[in-house]
Amino acid sequence: SQTIHQWPATLVQPVGSPLSLECTVEGTSNPNLYWYRQAAGRGLQLLFYSVGIGQISSEVPQNLSASRPQDRQFILSSKKLLLSDSGFYLCAWSQQINSPLHFGNGTRLTVT
């Protein structure tokens, strides 16, 4: 069966520090991969998605970036965090376009 791993679970970082969140999927090949952010009490905001290695689509302009160095690995990064980057970051995967998303457990990021 397929599983998705996301880490760390919680993270507290100072303003201006870098960020690297990692997500890996097991038990499937060539998944679609997604990064979402959910601010407190808000809906899900799609940040990036990828349909293959090295293929990244950005949904919103901001100081975050994403990379997919391997088929089942998706990384969210920032060179300098802002206070507004605080939130609940969720990685998700789907097998194909018409199939649902499956979410990882999320990373709660607090920028201080």
Partner 1 sequence: QKEVEQNSGPLSVPEGAIASLNCTYSDRVSQSFFWYRQYSGKSPELIMSIYSNGDKEDGRFTAQLNKASQYVSLLIRDSQPSDSATYLCAALFFGNEKLTFGTGTRLTIIP
Task: Residue count of the chain, please give it.
Answer: 112
Determine if 17 is a binding residue for partner 1 (CB under 8 A).
no
Residue type, 14: P
Q: Are 85 and 47 in contact (CB under 8 A)?
A: no
Q: Which is nearer to partner 1, 16 or 59 (CB)?
A: 59
Determine if 11 is a binding residue for partner 1 (CB under 8 A).
no
Determine if 51 is a binding residue for partner 1 (CB under 8 A).
yes
∠ CA(29), CA(48), CA(36), 5° rounding?
A: 95
**Which residue in 17, 24, 33, 22 sits closest to 78, CA to CA?**
17
Residue type, 63: N
Determine if 5 is a binding residue for partner 1 (CB under 8 A).
no
Among 19, 25, 78, 106, interactor with partner 1 by CB under 8 A: 106
Among 63, 105, 110, 112, interactor with partner 1 by CB under 8 A: 105
Task: Please identify, among the stretches 17-25, 64-72, 73-81, 103-111, the one whose residues bind partner 1 according to the rule CB under 8 A.
Answer: 103-111
Which residues are paired to 88 by β-bridges? 38, 108
Binding site for partner 1 (CB under 8 A): 32, 34, 42-44, 46, 49, 51, 59, 90, 97-106, 108
